[in-house]
Amino acid sequence: MRKIKIDIDYAKCTTPENCMKCLNICQPEVLLLTFEDEDYHNPKDWKIFPIFPSLCTNCGLCVELCPEKAISVKYNLKKLKKIRV
């Protein structure tokens, strides 16, 4: 069984509500922009989350388009190994 692990570096992805490049390029809609706290009006509470990593096609476009290089995708057959950075 294949497994995709998508990590977002939130120290680098600080204004996802203004960027959204990864969200716009991802055809299977693996990523979601949502709020992390009760105050959804505060932009600092908005984060990109990989909510459907099993739908990832491993195209790497989100990694390539991220201007902050905040996304990493790992693919697992038996153990995780990096496929794109």
Tell me the per-residue pLDDT of 54-74, one tens digit each, with 9 for 90 and over. 899 989 999 999 999 999 999
Number of domains in the chain: 1
Whether 56 contacts 2, CB under 8 Å: no
CATH code where residue 7 lies = 3.30.70.20
* Cα atoms found within 13 Å of the Cα of residue 65, Cβ hemisphere only: 13
pLDDT digits (tens, 9 = 90+) for 27-49: 999 999 988 777 777 777 889 99
**C-alpha 67: how far from chain center:** 13
Whether 48 contacts 33, CB under 8 Å: yes
Whether residue 81 lies inside any domain: the answer is no
Whether residue 48 lies inside any domain: the answer is yes
Whether residue 55 lies inside any domain: the answer is yes
Instruction: Tell me how far CA of residue 68 lies from CA of 7, 8, 14, 23, 40, in angstroms.
Output: 13, 10, 9, 14, 23
Whether residue 61 lies inside any domain: the answer is yes
Whether residue 13 lies inside any domain: the answer is yes
